[in-house]
Amino acid sequence: MCGIVAYMGPKAVESVLLVGLTRLEYRGYDSAGIAVLNRGEIQTRKEQGKIKDLENLLQAHPVEGNIGIGHTRWATHGEPNRKNAHPHIDNSRKIAVVHNGIIENHYELRRELIKEGYVFHSETDTEVIAHLLADKLKQHPQIEDAFYQTILKIQGRYSIVFLYDGAPHRVFFARDGSPLIYGHASGESFLASDIPAIVPLASHYYTIHNGEWGWITESGEMQLFNSKNTAISPKLERIDIEVNQVEKNGYDHFMLKEIYEQPDVMRRIIQTRLNGSDGKVLFPEKAADNQFLGSLSRIFITSAGTSWHAGLVGKMYLEHLAKITTEVDLASEFRYRNPIAGGDTKVIAVSQSGETADTLASIYQAKSKFIRVLSFVNNANSAIARESDAYVDLMAGVEIGVASTKAYTAELLNLLLYALFLSGIKWVIGKTERQKICDEIRLLPSLMEETLRKSEVIKQWAQNFKETKDFIFLGRALDYPTALEGALKLKEISYIHASGYAGGEFKHGPIALVTSDVPVVCIAVQSEIYEKMLSNIEEVKARGGKIIALYTEGDKTVPKLADYSLPMPKASPLLYPILNSIPLQLLAYHVAVARNCEPDQPRNLAKSVTVE
Ligand code: M6R
């Protein structure tokens, strides 16, 4: 939540910052601003709204210079308006600060600073940093000393970046909790919340760790210190993200591009994890934390939102294939329920971003009980990957759309393969059966492509749901989490109220909602619960409800009962949670577009939720 970018180098800072902020817009988009240091003077431009609005402001009131910082905001303290937009400056206009995270002791600091005569102009917690720094400069005239003293005084989770007109050849930073990276190119330095912001300009990067602080220079250098104020040497890594991974490449939205990338994501995972014909599943990452797996008898999966839905499917995979008792917790609840665990227990944390504060907190909770943690993350440099004993790389590639699509199906496939991997270790499934499942999994990319070719049908349906107020999604067994995920996807990007239910539960209350105005999406593909889903469809129909159904091609019954029906290719039931997600993602996307909603940046949301 919130995106930060900073630049020092020969290029015009305004355009570097705007490109960087646009790439970080998925982190927050309620207001944005930049500060530029030029000829000893700090100039700021801030605007409520999206980066486009800031760009319009800069067209009318340009800034010049080669050193600057920028910020795109997801409001925590204070309304999203121009006054609360970052950067925030001190009263003498010598310091400009951007910040991501929360300063937990900001009330106390604000009170002390007001007593000292500092005047606040915003409701943000960030502004205390600017005034505190100015105050520390009175006793510590070297800015680095003043900054270190400031860091000692503030509490919370943050990444901070600031300009100081008394040090015009440096941009300062500190991290404790919220992500921040340093980017390097010959004669240029960058800071950013995420690598896509500096692609393709920077060639190398370093992930700044919690407690580290320092400054960058215009010659492309970084000076780094740890929390004890000792200088450390960063080890840079090559950036291997191509620019086409962070651009729309002709698609109208990132979400649509990412939906269409799914077959290739599946291919990548399959090639890495199933590269032999012997039914062996590989988790080559040190990652898979292969110790003690023989005695593993209990798993807790913790995650949030879409990743929680992946966890619900993961539980069924792990119990069915590896026969390991698995519980799934919302990460935000796990820490409050004091779970009982012994040495035979593992926590699996699932997170696309690897930065979700709730999931991170659940990992700390697990570690406090000495439970080993394996995370499934799409970002190997993330806090969740670092705090876990080991991690599995989801291999979904950069996901920019706020609504998670390809990362979700990557979570599902990796969890399925991990369950299969454990089934081998625990001797639950024989080699021949494992080989059969592997062969079925190898068909997944082409089955996905076949499903994606039906997008146009769903686009036409979407026109009929522009005015719909409520949707219901029903699924059973492996498709119950798919129903929950279909409902979440629709509500987060189209703002239509939607609820997912287990088909069997429907008659215990929610069926009261059925009217001809409430479409009911029924996932009724061929599996052991097919007959039961037919009963659900009949029950809805008997009450005048409208049915949108997914069914297996060749089935003659469901299309006769449903008002809208989409045939899904024949596949192993284990693959249906992955395959069935695609039409539901497309439904959410096309309905959102038909309603003139912005699917990549739904209101009130941000992609990585770094506050609890
Ligand atoms: O990055 P994570 O997977 O940990 O994120 C968890 C949720 O915040 C996320 O899945 C959220 O629900 C998305 N907006 C879903 O599309």
- Residue 489 CA: which ligand 1 atom is closest? 16
Q: What is the pLDDT of residue 483?
A: 98
Q: Whose CA is nearest to atom 4 of ligand 1?
A: 351
Q: Whose CA is nearest to atom 7 of ligand 1?
A: 305
Is residue 438 among the annotated active site residues? no
pLDDT score of 1 more than 80: no
Mean pLDDT, the chain, whole residue set:
93
pLDDT score of 394 more than 70: yes
Q: How far is the CA of 358 from the centre of ligand 1 (A)?
A: 11
Q: How far is the CA of 304 from the centre of ligand 1 (A)?
A: 6
Which residue do the tokens 């970002």 mark? 379
Residue 242 to residues 195, 397, 398: CA-CA distances in angstroms?
Answer: 11, 10, 10
Q: In a mutational test of the pocket of ligand 1, which residue from 259, 356, 402 has the highest number of ligand atoms less than 8 Å from its CB?
A: 356
Q: Which CATH number fits domain 452-599: 3.40.50.10490, 3.40.50.300, 1.20.120.1200, 3.30.70.240?
A: 3.40.50.10490
Pocket of ligand 1 (CB under 6 A): 304-307, 351-353, 356, 359, 402-404, 492, 605, 608-609
d(CA 113, CA 121): 13
Q: How far is the CA of 405 from the centre of ligand 1 (A)?
A: 10
Q: How far is the CA of 13 from the centre of ligand 1 (A)?
A: 32
Q: What is the pLDDT of residue 277?
A: 67
**DSSP 8-state assignment for residue 32:** E
Q: In a mutational test of the pocket of ligand 1, which residue from 194, 259, 301, 352 has the highest number of ligand atoms less than 8 Å from its CB?
A: 352
217, 169 Cβ separation under 8 angstroms:
yes
Count CB-CB contacts under 10 A for residue 75: 19
Where do the structural domains in the chain lie, given as residue ranges?
Answer: 3-245, 251-442, 452-599
The string of DSSP letters for 288-354 reads G--TTGGG--EEEEEE-HHHHHHHHHHHHHHHHHH--EEEEEEHHHHTTS-----TTEEEEEEESSS
Q: What is the pLDDT of residue 291?
A: 67
Q: Whose CA is nearest to atom 11 of ligand 1?
A: 305
Q: How far is the CA of 488 from the centre of ligand 1 (A)?
A: 10
Average pLDDT over residues 446-463: 97
Superfamily of domain 3-245: Aminohydrolase, N-terminal nucleophile (Ntn) domain (3.60.20.10)
Q: What is the pLDDT of residue 527?
A: 83
Given 46, 346, 489, 607, which residue is catalytic? 607
Question: Quick one: how far is CA 243 from the chain centroid?
Answer: 19
Q: In a mutational test of the pocket of ligand 1, which residue from 307, 353, 376, 485 has the highest number of ligand atoms less than 8 Å from its CB?
A: 307
592, 493 Cβ separation under 8 angstroms:
yes
384, 375 Cβ separation under 8 angstroms:
yes
Residue 223 to residues 204, 210, 403, 524, 561: CA-CA distances in angstroms?
Answer: 15, 15, 37, 59, 68
- φ and ψ at residue 57, rounded to 5 degrees: -60, -40
pLDDT score of 141 more than 90: yes
- Residue 356 CA: which ligand 1 atom is closest? 4
Instruction: Indicate the range of 120-124, 140-144, 359-363, 422-426 predicted with least confidence.
Output: 422-426
Q: What is the pLDDT of residue 285?
A: 67
Share of the chain above pLDDT 70, in %: 99
Task: Look up the pTM and report it.
Answer: 0.90
pLDDT higher for 117 or 342?
117
pLDDT higher for 353 or 77?
353
Q: Whose CA is nearest to atom 14 of ligand 1?
A: 403
pLDDT higher for 288 or 393?
393
Contacts 24+ apart (CB under 8 A), 53-60: 54/18, 54/21, 55/18, 58/14, 58/18, 58/34
Q: What is the pLDDT of residue 242?
A: 87
**Structure tokens that stand for 260 in this block:** 């269409």
Q: Whose CA is nearest to atom 12 of ligand 1?
A: 305
Q: In a mutational test of the pocket of ligand 1, which residue from 387, 402, 404 has the highest number of ligand atoms less than 8 Å from its CB?
A: 404
pLDDT digits (tens, 9 = 90+) for 88-109: 999 999 999 999 998 999 999 9
Q: What is the pLDDT of residue 290?
A: 66
**DSSP 8-state assignment for residue 244:** G
- Residue 607 CA: which ligand 1 atom is closest? 14
- Residue 405 CA: which ligand 1 atom is closest? 16
Q: How far is the CA of 147 from the centre of ligand 1 (A)?
A: 34
Question: Quick one: how far is CA 344 from the chain centroid?
Answer: 30
Q: How far is the CA of 608 from the centre of ligand 1 (A)?
A: 7
Count CB-CB contacts under 10 A for residue 60: 7
pLDDT score of 450 more than 60: yes
Q: How far is the CA of 312 from the centre of ligand 1 (A)?
A: 14
- 251-442: same fold as 3-245? no
Q: What's the helix, strand, coil split of the chain in %, to 5?
A: 40, 25, 35
d(CA 589, CA 464): 14
Is residue 522 among the annotated active site residues? no
Confidence tier at 74 by pLDDT (50, 70, 90): confident
Structural domain 251-442, CATH architecture:
3-Layer(aba) Sandwich (3.40)
pLDDT score of 305 more than 90: yes
